[in-house]
């Protein structure tokens, strides 16, 4: 049962073939069995999840009309607040904090009857590409437990790949949904900025952060996308427009006549051979399905990485100033005679990890007097150029595509002492966040040299998210025919568990 798609589970629930309590318990049992090896979860809410499930079952038994995913379990990235449930953001500085309110995403999940199993591991405050920066230890990739599951949302992606949950929520600031999806053989979607509320999402970089759905199939992602999206008065950046028809698009998968633009600048040197092979094969499958493949250019993409690592740290420097040991979370050095400044300094020294400190320092410097225009201001100008590149390219195509990541999953510890090498993992995903458009990653097969998953990225214009689902569903169907079985059925790790 746990190996089924979320849509299939929902159908079984609706038909009375199982109950939400039974389904939830099976996933809790699975977590108990394998998460000692994977470490996808930071907190498992056994009692809360079963209580939610029982409530859904009671409503169904009473004949109430329920949402499509009512009763299906989900894993929640630990950057989203959930009332009364520990929310750490992967940091010691928030250890033990239980928010007094739900994020809007959680409110929408509860409204739709989606059962929240617990909170997933992540790079501290979403700063990282490997989930090695968590203060609570790394998450392991279920395909190979010695490898990273991507980041910052590696816990959510690993939970899906290990069949600990059929659905998950991630957040994407520079690729933190899509990159973990790519290296774990799952599906991850960054909606258009403002398409899903950020209220209750603990901020890293406010102009870049975006919550989105993580799943094992394109349709499952679409169903979850529709459940969490929409206007929210509590978020001033929330878009007042109808939610794109993503579920209809995922059910259709018709790409006949669509123009698919291959980004020249994201398909060159530096990409692993197997990544390029699977990408080219995917293009051939889309062409066979009736799409027209064209090449597009985005010359300013080469500056995206540098600009991102000025904008994101600058905003993180401002956002993380709220963690001051005065109101909530960790407090160190609070003894008689200690000044507020010394308590704050000691707490931040102990509570923040190395990568968070690095980015705070970088961002504070970029925003400082005499440097603001040269660094942060210039990076924002580059951001405008990147947006213009997307606009120009979308005049020639309906969606743009590239490999999601330059390589497959690397070994835990392999790049932890080389920040630049780590940052380069996001070279293909960052432009999407800079422009605020939608992006999706779905599995395109296994790299022949190491047998690990490869991701295919689809990018769509703002509030045209349904186009990603059209192309994603078409490619998924073609690849399923080619593979003969879902990709995750080939997973070698955790076999027999």
Q: Kindly give, in sequence order, each residue whose CB lies less than 8 Å from that of residue 269, ignoring residues fewer than 6 positions away.
A: none
What DSSP string describes 285-318? Answer: HHHHTTPEEEEE--GGGGGHHHHHHHHHHHHHHH
DSSP 365-408: HHHSTTTTIIIIIHHHHHHHHHHHHHHHHHTT-SEEEEESSSSS
Which residue in this structure is represented by tokens 């928010």? 99
Alpha helix positions (H), 173-299: 178-184, 218-228, 246-252, 273-288
| Buried-state track 338-359, b at ≥16 Cβ within 10 A, e below 16 | eeeeebbebbbeebbbebbeeb
**Rounded Cα distance, 78 and 308, in Å:** 23
Let me know if 444 is a catalytic residue. Answer: no
Q: Is 5 marked active-site?
A: no
Q: How remote is the C-alpha of 160 from its chain's centroid?
A: 12
Query: Which is the catalytic residue, given 5, 20, 77, 156?
Result: 77
Among 5, 130, 134, 176, the one annotated catalytic: 176
Catalytic annotation, pick one of 5, 20, 103, 152? 152
**What is the bridge-based pairing of β-strands 187-190 and 438-446?**
antiparallel
Known catalytic residue at 411: no
C-alpha–C-alpha distance, residues 217 and 419, integer Å: 32
Per the CB < 8 A criterion, the answer to whether 169 and 227 are in contact is no
- Which active-site residues does the annotation give? 77, 152, 176
């Amino acid at each position: 049962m746990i190996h089924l798609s979320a849509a299939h589970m929902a159908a079984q629930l609706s038909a009375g073939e199982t109950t939400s309590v039974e389904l939830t318990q099976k996933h809790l049992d699975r977590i108990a069995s394998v998460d000692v090896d994977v470490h996808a979860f930071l907190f498992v809410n056994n009692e809360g999840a079963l209580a939610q499930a029982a409530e859904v079952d009671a409503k169904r038994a009473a004949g109430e009309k329920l949402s499509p995913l009512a009763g299906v379990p989900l894993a929640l990235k630990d950057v989203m607040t959930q009332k009364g449930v520990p929310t750490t953001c992967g940091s010691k500085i928030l250890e033990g904090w239980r928010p007094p309110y739900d994020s809007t995403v959680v409110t929408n999940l509860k409204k739709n009857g989606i059962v929240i199993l617990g909170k997933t591991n992540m790079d501290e405050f979403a700063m990282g590409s490997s989930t090695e920066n968590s203060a609570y230890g790394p998450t392991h990739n279920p395909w190979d437990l010695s490898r990273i599951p991507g980041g910052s949302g590696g816990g959510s992606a690993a939970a899906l790949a290990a069949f600990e949950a059929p659905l998950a929520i991630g957040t994407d600031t520079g690729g933190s949904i899509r990159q973990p999806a790519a290296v774990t053989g799952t599906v991850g979607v960054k909606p258009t900025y403002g398409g899903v509320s950020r209220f209750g999402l603990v901020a890293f970089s406010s102009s870049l952060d975006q919550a989105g759905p993580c799943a094992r199939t394109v349709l499952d992602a679409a169903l979850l996308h529709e459940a969490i999206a929409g206007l929210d008065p509590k978020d001033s950046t929330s878009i007042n427009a109808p939610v794109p028809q993503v579920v209809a698009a995922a059910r259709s998968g018709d790409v006949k006549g669509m123009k698919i633009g291959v980004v020249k600048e994201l398909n060159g040197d530096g990409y692993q051979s197997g990544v390029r092979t699977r990408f080219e094969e995917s293009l051939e499958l889309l062409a066979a399905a009736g799409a027209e493949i064209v090449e597009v250019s985005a010359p300013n993409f080469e500056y995206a990485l540098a600009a991102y690592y000025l904008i994101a740290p600058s905003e993180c420097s401002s956002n993380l100033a709220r963690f001051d040991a005065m109101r909530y979370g960790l407090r160190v050095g609070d003894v008689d005679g200690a000044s507020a400044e010394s308590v704050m300094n000691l707490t931040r020294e102990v509570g923040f990890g190395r990568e968070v400190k690095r980015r705070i320092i970088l961002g504070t410097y970029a925003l400082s007097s005499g440097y603001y225009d040269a660094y942060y201001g210039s990076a924002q100008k580059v951001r405008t150029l990147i947006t213009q590149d997307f606009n120009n390219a979308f005049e020639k195509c309906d969606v743009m595509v590239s490999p999601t990541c330059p390589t497959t999953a690397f070994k835990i510890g392999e790049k932890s002492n080389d920040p630049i090498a780590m940052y380069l993992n996001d070279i293909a995903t960052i432009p999407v966040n800079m422009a605020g458009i939608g992006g999706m990653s779905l599995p395109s097969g296994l790299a022949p040299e190491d047998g690990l998953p490869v991701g295919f990225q689809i990018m769509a214009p703002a509030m045209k998210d349904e186009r990603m689902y059209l192309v994603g569903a078409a490619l998924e169907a073609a690849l399923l025919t080619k593979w003969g079985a879902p990709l995750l059925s080939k997973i070698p790790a955790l076999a027999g568990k």
